[in-house]
Amino acid sequence: MFDKIAAHPEGISAARLAEQHSWSPSYTARLLDAQASFGLLKKTLGPDNIGIYHITETGKYMVSDFQGSFDGIFTIFSKRVMKSMSDIPDLIKSGEEGYKAQWVSSQLQTDGSADKQGPKDQQPLAEPKMPEGCQEKCAAGCMKSGMKERRMYQIMEALMYPYRDDIVRAFDLSGFKTVVDIGGGTGFLSYNLSRTYPDMKVTLMELPKAIKAAKEQFQPPDFDKLNVSYLEGNCLKDPIPDASLYVFCKVVHYFEEKKIEELMRKLHEKLPSGGAIMLIEDLLSPMRVGQPPANCFDLLKMTEKAGQNRTIEEYGSILERCGFAKFKCIRSNEESVYDMMMAIKD
């Protein structure tokens, strides 16, 4: 609806909007009035005292092609998150392994990656085996609900958009001249790093589909002024370029602790003295009762078998075992889902 209203910058009446799209005039007017009450639309009186609706500055975030749009977020919550949350009773009853067997079968069948099995109630729940590559599918952000990839990438950018400056300025990164943004989606963080630190050379390392989308659909207008390059690759399998800083934004929570440790050890060996790892995640408190977004996202990851949230202490312990002597963290505010951690090599 907001896309349709945005097509009329001069404003539009409820009756005209309803006529154009064969909607109920009275229900359309009531819906627009409700949106105006939230400040997403502004209602003024036109000729003959007819209400005319305009999108407000806040309402722009509901338009699908507006940078930082929340449109995709609402879509994923209605089509994916609510469904996943409804699976929690099955998870609690069946246990992790039983639920995993059902989940893996249903998800891999959507892209033909696994042979078709019997009905859900006939699938075995005991001692299931996670198919080879399933974790990589999760880490790659497979579209588990059939969501279009562009929409998924838009959601990733929209979640980060309000906190983009907080993320790149949480630590003083001016001393790092070569950075690899690993698993950085379509490059939103890479572009903002380059804008904030013009002397920094940033490499976005991602899977081929994401790199293709970054080049063809998500390159910013000022790309020619940025020092950002692209590299196709899987950080769990392919060589990772040398750098003084490796950044992972909402990536390592997909991995089991063993895989995180293997990856961090490999990067510790590559880093020069003074080099660092920066992890951006939504952290749980030591009691595992964190800020509400962190626990809600942890439940979502639980239902989708797509990793888990961890505490500061857990990440600190992993990095210490991998040889990093200096570890620090900056917690975000209650509304944010981004906590910044940095581990430095002596």
pLDDT score at 279: 97
The two three-digit tokens of residue 131, written as one number: 């198919």
Report whether 278 contacts 248 (CB < 8 A).
yes
| Rg, the chain, Cα only | 23
pLDDT score at 333: 67
pLDDT at 60 over 90: no
Residue of 218, 207, 308, 295 lying closest to 257 (CA atoms): 308
* List of residues 6+ apart from 320 with CB closer than 8 A: 327
Q: Would you place residue 84 in the very low, low, confident or very high pLDDT band (cuts 50, 70, 90)?
A: low
The two three-digit tokens of residue 285, written as one number: 């408190």
Options 21, 54, 253, 268, the catalytic residue: 253
d(CA 261, CA 275): 17
Strand partners, 341: 279, 329
Q: Would you place residue 144 in the very low, low, confident or very high pLDDT band (cuts 50, 70, 90)?
A: very low
Range among 84-88, 277-281, 295-299 with highest mean pLDDT value: 277-281
Give the full edge-to-edge strand order of the sheet including 339-344.
228-232, 201-206, 178-182, 245-249, 276-281, 339-344, 326-330
Q: Are strands 228-232 and 245-249 parallel, antiparallel or unpaired?
A: unpaired
pLDDT score at 148: 59
Report whether 311 contacts 284 (CB < 8 A).
yes
Range among 116-120, 136-140, 198-202, 208-212 with highest mean pLDDT value: 198-202
Give the dihedral of Cα atoms 346, 183, 336, 159; nearest 10 deg.
160
Q: Would you place residue 236 in the very low, low, confident or very high pLDDT band (cuts 50, 70, 90)?
A: very high
CA distance between the termini of the chain: 55
Domains of the chain: 2-62 (1.10.10.10), 71-139 (no CATH), 149-344 (3.40.50.150)
- 268 classed as catalytic: no
pLDDT mean over 178-197? 96
Instruction: Please write the tens of the pLDDT for every residue from 97-142.
Output: 544 544 444 444 444 433 333 333 333 333 333 344 444 444 444 4
The two three-digit tokens of residue 293, written as one number: 């977004």
- pTM beyond 0.85: the answer is no
Instruction: Please write the tens of the pLDDT for every residue from 3-21.
Output: 999 999 999 999 999 999 9
pLDDT score at 298: 80
Range among 159-163, 187-191, 331-335 with highest mean pLDDT value: 187-191
